[in-house]
Structure 1
């Protein structure tokens, strides 16, 4: 005959010494810490560009939280995949935030983001291989734009 014994829970990591549940819990905790470390590593590389964005706003006489184009720029930077290196930033006279990436052999991509979410881009890979267009930024970067940035930064 079997009996269930109830005991008080002693915290989040309580029960790690139990055979099956303990192994599963240990794996879950390890994977959670790995994901957190990966996230921190990817955000550290972006922290410099967030500082640049803040300085750009100050130089332009605005606060990031009060200017829609800067808010979109912040969201755009957060939406960038972690393997893509941060862009150079500029503030255009017409109120758009510019993002620039330079690759090898003269490859580059320039992207601007307006206060209404309009995303315009132009990429040059060679004299005969150029792409440009306009998309809508709605907290996610269109796949076509991400692929162009990857292509420039990996060249």
Structure 2
């Protein structure tokens, strides 16, 4: 199955739609390469399984429910995300958004602290997955601290 390429106009239309309670703007599985998301506040958007090569995220801020599950972010411009690929029970991608302190992993979406608690409970009996996720969490925390330090210098 081929991925459908959305134009800038199509993406803008989807993002500008008014939403009802608990609805999400669905950009799931699209080729969004080259789309300019600059200076938007993104909230309730799913980029799951999308291609973001060359997409521009300059000045973007993230709110809740921005999902990057198994999203190809390689080559995206000014997208401040951290991804760890091929880890855990799904051998999937875990994404951390430092700006909003959110993690997307499998069916999980929440804060880094909530993710850490969930990992400790779910994988307490599997040392391999516990270590893989714990290593990712340590990396995410280091990135968060680096961002805080850099913000303090401006």
TM-score greater than 0.5 by the shorter chain: no
Whichever structure has more helix as a proportion of its residues is 1
Instruction: Give the number of the structure whose alpha-carbon radius of gyration is greater.
Output: 1
TM-score, normalization: structure 2?
Answer: 0.25
